[in-house]
């Protein structure tokens, strides 16, 4: 085996298993920080994992299983040093939404379907990662994600209200149905449950504000268990978690059928997009803060491996979480060893501490979920989006209301389509500018922004700041023809400043050909300036480049000078930066030989 091949194999191993890059060079000085972070996040993850499993319609033990082996696997395959992987609120809600029509909560079929969903999510992550298709998450714009998560926060919050007040509410497909069903059953509120729920919420708020480093969820769990035991609240109607199996996660391949996979594929794709977008966003924040890089495609493979592990070890889909990652970083995490310690804490809890959790009230878990999703209602970010780009509120609003009205999967699908339509609408009416000359310079600027810029007699100058394509060809043609109205004075010319055009398709090229013909009939010559390479390539293949001949210029100023002075066309277009494929003239030929510029 050659040295070069060995180097390539080692490089591939490092890319596939990032632990090989940081593990052998681990610094002992980081151990204390990683240990503190791992213990802190572990104390936070145990109650959160149980609460999120409850949100997904699964037994609390499944949440704990999803917080063990998947966390270890991500630590081996992931590139982020601070990202805390495990169950999260939105993925839990998506899981419940997908599984509710397929099986009854708590049954073996329901648990099996959750594991299958995790496997499908894992496979989708890995396929996207191997295919280097991480860019697909760009179809889910930031504004759409903000609107979607805000709506999901409301749905999650109301789904937990039944646990906070101690009433039985039938699961409904639509958000408004859940609200109405809850309102109809409020008269049956269990007072002790309400007290536990409100007290738990108040405790979480108080601890977050006054003692943010204290694991509030753990404090609430311990306090609520002590209250249930001390005051006999279970006998007074307070619902508790009950017995949790103390068995560690075991390997098992879930039963998979074609019909089940068909029913879950849509949700699996949504979870993949939403989960990866959430993970990569927070991973990049902390990578930038600690001055290292995360590879999106490697992250896809790491998250995919974690979800495969979740499906094979009795869990359900997982991803990186905002709040736990923030805690992980603030607690001092330096490497993924912190995540390995977190998984160890959860395993110890499963092995030895589950009997102590039997009296944990569902109201406390509901309060933990509500507290966690309050942050998803990011009102400051909504205001920021409205301030920066008001049109982005369309995607945000559609995502918010579509998710509330139509449900999670259909809502986000509608939101993505709506955001893409907004993009197409922008493309169909791109930014254009009528240019005028700035006195004393060779610059030409938008006359709407620079009123002092002088519009030249007999010469119209238009700049288009977008690719020319089938989406905007019709509108661009109307604009160019309108600006090509013959002037009363000579010369009569239309200059298209192509500096803002970075691409052109066949429809765009055909449109330019039509504009050339129609402007010629009007007695106006079309000139092109500052044409970029990719556009030149297409214009050459379409025959337009040759047809334009001496009406091609390196800059708008050159075009104006050539038209005004009736300057001959330059023979050496390569030297002047007009076209790299134009051969220089023979040495015995005048440099500026050529036909006169046609107007």
Query: What pLDDT score was predicted for residue 15?
Result: 61
Q: Which two tokens stand for residue 382?
A: 């909504």
For residues 336 and 134, is the Cβ–Cβ distance under 8 A?
Answer: no
CA distance 259 to 279: 30
| Residues written for the chain | 599
Question: Average pLDDT in the 116-130 region?
Answer: 95
- Picking from 520, 530, 446, 432, the residue whose alpha carbon sits closest to that of residue 478 is 432
> For the ranges 27-41, 396-410, 461-475, 535-549, which has the lowest average pLDDT?
396-410
Q: Which two tokens stand for residue 269?
A: 């794709």
Query: What pLDDT score was predicted for residue 26?
Result: 83
- Picking from 417, 12, 370, the residue whose alpha carbon sits closest to that of residue 161 is 370
- Picking from 163, 182, 87, the residue whose alpha carbon sits closest to that of residue 367 is 163
- List Cα–Cα distances, 232 to 202, 229, 238, 359, in angstroms: 22, 5, 9, 10
Per residue in 374-391, pLDDT (tens digit) is 877 888 888 888 888 887
At residue 591 the predicted structure's pLDDT band, cuts being 50, 70 and 90, is very low
Query: What pLDDT score was predicted for residue 573?
Result: 67
Query: What pLDDT score was predicted for residue 592?
Result: 42
Hey, what's the torsion of the CAs at 137, 11, 283, 249, to 10 degrees? 90
User: 432-565 domain in CATH 3.30.750.24?
Assistant: yes
Q: What is the mean pLDDT of the chain?
A: 86
For residues 529 and 577, is the Cβ–Cβ distance under 8 A?
Answer: no
CA distance 42 to 339: 9
Sign, CA dihedral 219-222-225-230, equals negative
For residues 538 and 509, is the Cβ–Cβ distance under 8 A?
Answer: yes
> For the ranges 5-19, 27-41, 274-288, 492-506, which has the lowest average pLDDT?
5-19
Query: What pLDDT score was predicted for residue 466?
Result: 92
CA distance 413 to 424: 17
pLDDT at 356 over 70: yes
CA distance 540 to 374: 57
Query: What pLDDT score was predicted for residue 331?
Result: 81
pLDDT at 167 over 60: yes
At residue 133 the predicted structure's pLDDT band, cuts being 50, 70 and 90, is confident
CA distance 137 to 202: 37
Question: Average pLDDT in the 236-241 region?
Answer: 90
Query: What pLDDT score was predicted for residue 75?
Result: 93
C-alpha of 31 from chain center = 33
Query: Got the DSSP string for 469-518?
Result: -TTTHHHHHHHHHHHTPPPSSS--EEEEEGGG---B-HHHHHHHHHHHHH
CA distance 299 to 204: 32
| Residues contacting 198, CB < 8 A, separation 6+ | 164
Per residue in 429-448, pLDDT (tens digit) is 889 999 999 998 999 999 99
What are the helix (H) ranges across 131-257? 142-165, 175-185, 191-210, 216-231
At residue 599 the predicted structure's pLDDT band, cuts being 50, 70 and 90, is very low
Residue 559, classified by CB atoms within 10 Å of its CB into exposed (0-12), middle (13-18) or buried (19+), is buried
- List Cα–Cα distances, 394 to 133, 149, 417, in angstroms: 27, 15, 11
Residues carrying CATH 3.30.750.24, the chain: 432-565
CA distance 509 to 468: 8
Q: Phi then psi for 286, rounded to 5 degrees?
A: -80, -25
Question: Average pLDDT in the 539-564 region?
Answer: 90
For residues 562 and 529, is the Cβ–Cβ distance under 8 A?
Answer: no
Mapped onto helix, strand or coil, the DSSP state of residue 272 is helix
At residue 589 the predicted structure's pLDDT band, cuts being 50, 70 and 90, is very low
pLDDT at 173 over 80: no
Query: What pLDDT score was predicted for residue 123?
Result: 96
- Picking from 434, 442, 496, 446, the residue whose alpha carbon sits closest to that of residue 468 is 496
For residues 461 and 561, is the Cβ–Cβ distance under 8 A?
Answer: no
Q: Phi then psi for 511, rounded to 5 degrees?
A: -60, -45
For residues 26 and 335, is the Cβ–Cβ distance under 8 A?
Answer: yes
Per residue in 97-122, pLDDT (tens digit) is 899 889 998 899 999 999 999 999 99
Per residue in 284-308, pLDDT (tens digit) is 878 888 888 888 888 999 999 999 9
Per residue in 268-282, pLDDT (tens digit) is 998 998 889 888 878
Query: ∠593-598-599 over CA atoms, to 5°?
Result: 145
Give the rounded percent of residues in the chain with a pLDDT score beyond 90.
42
pLDDT at 1 over 60: no
Query: What pLDDT score was predicted for residue 478?
Result: 93
Question: Average pLDDT in the 38-65 region?
Answer: 91
Per residue in 492-512, pLDDT (tens digit) is 899 999 999 999 999 999 999
Query: How would you classify residue 224: left for phi > 0, otherwise alpha for psi between -120 and 50, otherwise beta?
Result: alpha
At residue 257 the predicted structure's pLDDT band, cuts being 50, 70 and 90, is confident
CA distance 157 to 61: 22
Per residue in 315-351, pLDDT (tens digit) is 999 999 877 888 888 888 889 999 999 999 999 999 9
Q: Are strands 459-464 and 525-529 parallel, antiparallel or unpaired?
A: unpaired
pLDDT at 596 over 50: no
User: How crowded is the C-beta side of 286, counted as CA atoms within 13 Å?
Assistant: 27
Sign, CA dihedral 537-542-544-546, equals positive
Q: Are strands 85-86 and 525-529 parallel, antiparallel or unpaired?
A: unpaired
Q: Are strands 493-497 and 525-529 parallel, antiparallel or unpaired?
A: parallel
| Residues contacting 597, CB < 8 A, separation 6+ | 550, 551, 562, 563, 566, 567, 568, 569
Give the rounded percent of residues in the chain with a pLDDT score beyond 70.
91
Q: Which two tokens stand for residue 7?
A: 């180097």
Q: Phi then psi for 531, rounded to 5 degrees?
A: -85, 130
Query: What pLDDT score was predicted for residue 181?
Result: 87
Full-prediction pTM beyond 0.85? Answer: no
| Residues contacting 295, CB < 8 A, separation 6+ | 15, 79
Question: Average pLDDT in the 68-72 region?
Answer: 96
Query: What pLDDT score was predicted for residue 291?
Result: 86
What are the helix (H) ranges across 313-449? 322-330, 337-348, 362-374, 379-388, 392-406, 408-428
For residues 497 and 531, is the Cβ–Cβ distance under 8 A?
Answer: no
């Amino acid at each position: 085996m050659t040295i070069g091949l060995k180097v390539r194999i080692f490089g591939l191993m490092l890319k596939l298993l990032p632990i090989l890059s940081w593990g052998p060079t681990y610094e002992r000085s980081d151990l204390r920080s990683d240990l503190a972070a791992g213990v802190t996040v572990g104390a936070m993850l145990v109650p959160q994992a149980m609460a999120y499993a409850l949100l997904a319609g699964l037994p609390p033990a499944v949440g704990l299983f999803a917080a063990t082996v998947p966390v270890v696997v991500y630590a081996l395959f992931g590139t982020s040093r601070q990202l805390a992987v495990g169950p999260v609120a939105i993925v839990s809600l998506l899981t419940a939404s997908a599984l509710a029509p397929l099986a009854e909560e708590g049954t073996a079929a329901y648990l099996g379907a959750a594991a299958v969903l995790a496997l499908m999510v894992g496979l989708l992550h890995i396929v996207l990662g191997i295919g280097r298709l991480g860019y697909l998450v760009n179809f889910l714009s930031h504004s759409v994600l903000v609107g979607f998560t805000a709506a999901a926060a409301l749905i999650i919050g109301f789904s937990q209200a039944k646990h906070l007040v101690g009433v039985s509410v039938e699961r409904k497909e639509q958000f408004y149905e859940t609200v109405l069903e809850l309102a109809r059953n409020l008269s049956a509120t269990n007072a002790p449950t309400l007290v536990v729920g409100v007290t738990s919420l108040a405790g979480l708020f108080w601890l977050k504000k006054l003692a943010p480093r204290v694991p509030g969820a753990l404090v609430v769990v311990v306090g609520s268990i002590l209250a249930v035991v001390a005051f006999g609240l279970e006998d007074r109607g307070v619902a508790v978690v009950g017995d949790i199996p103390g068995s560690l996660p075991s390997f098992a391949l879930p039963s998979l059928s074609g019909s089940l996979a068909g029913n879950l594929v849509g949700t699996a794709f949504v979870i993949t997009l939403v989960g990866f977008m959430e993970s990569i966003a927070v991973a990049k924040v902390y990578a930038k803060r600690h001055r290292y890089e995360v590879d999106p495609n490697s992250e896809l493979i790491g998250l995919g491996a974690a979800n495969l592990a979740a499906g094979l070890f009795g869990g359900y889909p997982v991803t990186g979480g905002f709040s736990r990652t923030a805690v992980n970083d603030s607690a001092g995490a330096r490497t993924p060893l912190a995540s390995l310690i977190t998984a160890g804490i959860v395993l110890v809890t499963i092995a030895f501490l589950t009997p102590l959790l039997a009296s944990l009230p569902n109201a406390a878990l509901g309060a933990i979920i509500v507290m966690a999703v309050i942050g998803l209602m990011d009102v400051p970010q909504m205001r920021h989006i409205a301030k920066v780009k008001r049109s982005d509120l369309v995607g945000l609003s559609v995502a918010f209301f579509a998710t509330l009205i139509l449900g999670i999967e259909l809502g986000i699908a509608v939101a993505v389509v709506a955001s893409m339509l907004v993009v197409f609408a922008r493309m169909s009416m791109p930014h254009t500018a009528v240019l005028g000359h700035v006195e004393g310079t060779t610059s030409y600027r938008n006359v709407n922004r620079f009123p002092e810029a002088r519009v030249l007699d007999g010469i119209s100058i238009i700049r288009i700041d977008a690719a020319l394509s089938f989406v905007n060809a019709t509108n661009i043609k109307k604009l160019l023809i309108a600006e090509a109205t013959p002037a009363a004075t000579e010369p009569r010319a239309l200059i298209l400043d192509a500096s803002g055009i970075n691409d052109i398709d066949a429809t765009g090229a055909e449109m330019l050909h039509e504009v050339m013909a129609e402007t010629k009939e009007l007695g106006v010559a079309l000139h092109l300036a500052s044409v970029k390479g990719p556009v030149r390539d297409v214009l050459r293949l379409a025959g337009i480049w040759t047809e334009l001949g001496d009406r091609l210029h390196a800059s708008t100023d050159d075009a104006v000078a050539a038209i005004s002075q009736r300057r001959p066309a330059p023979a050496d277009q390569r030297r002047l930066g007009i076209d790299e494929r134009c051969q220089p003239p023979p040495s015995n030929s005048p440099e500026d030989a050529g036909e006169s510029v046609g107007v």
